[in-house]
């Protein structure tokens, strides 16, 4: 996704905690519950690409548990790339590569990188347009090996409806900043998954009214 500077404060809650490290309360809070689901689907060995890794907290946290997997974080924001590097250096995990600069909403990026056994996208879809969402899913499918998983986590509409007051408030704040942003519908995500040679395996209700999509190629 391109770097967007006009997001509401609720969409950009990473605090600078020194030495180029950023910290997000939500990332710290949701990492354990995401890991619990990942443990049911991730292979014993292989390569994982995390799209829009943000602060770097997720990849640092996951790599400690899934130590036989090779983790490749990515982002497009230089400040977040620096933060990811700081977390990697601090954790000293041999199975995490230094981050790559990647706009996962761009066209044809799948042709320029290695293929992966798992691609993970956390809390990104409400911060991109519908066109960018379609590109991200299409390119992710192309970057996956056969019998691999695409994992999506974040806030979504259910059948075109926002299902909590908090979601209505957050969605409204996003579209007021940029009408192209905002919550995507769960049915639209499933349609794009199926349109790109991926098979939906599960849609899982998560804490704080989030959803987790598991798709297999």
Q: Report the C-alpha gap between 132 and 135 in whole angstroms.
A: 5
The upper half-sphere exposure of residue 69, i.e. CA atoms within 13 Å in the direction of its Cβ, equals 25
pLDDT digits (tens, 9 = 90+) for 37-91: 999 999 999 999 999 999 999 999 999 999 999 999 999 999 999 999 999 999 9
pLDDT digits (tens, 9 = 90+) for 30-39: 999 999 999 9
DSSP state of 63: H
Write out the two tokens for 17: 């905690």
Q: What is the mean pLDDT of the chain?
A: 93
Domains of the chain: 9-216 (3.40.50.150)
- Residues sharing a CB contact under 8 Å with residue 89, sequence separation 6 or more, in sequence order: none
Is this model's pTM higher than 0.85 or not? Answer: yes
| Mean pLDDT across 201-215 | 97
State the first-to-last Cα distance of the chain, in angstroms, to the nearest integer: 23
pLDDT digits (tens, 9 = 90+) for 138-178: 999 999 999 999 999 999 999 999 999 999 999 999 999 89
């Amino acid at each position: 996704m391109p770097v967007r500077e006009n997001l509401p404060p609720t969409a950009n809650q990473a605090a600078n905690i020194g030495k180029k490290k950023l910290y997000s309360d939500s990332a710290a809070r949701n990492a354990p519950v995401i890991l619990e689901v990942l443990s049911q689907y991730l292979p014993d060995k292989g390569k994982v690409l995390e799209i829009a890794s943000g602060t770097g907290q997720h990849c640092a946290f996951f790599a400690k548990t899934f130590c036989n997997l090779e983790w490749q974080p990515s982002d497009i924001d230089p400040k977040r790339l620096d933060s990811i590097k700081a977390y990697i250096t601090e954790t000293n995990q041999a199975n995490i590569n230094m981050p790559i600069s990647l706009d996962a909403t761009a066209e044809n990026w799948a042709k320029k990188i290695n293929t992966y056994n798992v691609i993970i996208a956390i809390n990104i879809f409400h911060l991109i347009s519908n066109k960018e969402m379609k590109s991200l899913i299409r390119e992710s499918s192309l970057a996956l090996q056969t019998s691999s998983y695409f994992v999506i986590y974040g806030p979504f509409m259910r059948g075109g409806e926002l299902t909590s007051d908090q979601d209505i408030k957050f969605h409204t704040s996003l579209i007021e900043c940029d009408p192209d942003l905002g919550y995507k519908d769960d049915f639209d995500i499933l349609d794009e998954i199926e349109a790109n040679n991926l098979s939906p395996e599960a849609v899982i209700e998560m804490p704080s009214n989030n959803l987790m999509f598991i798709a297999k190629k």
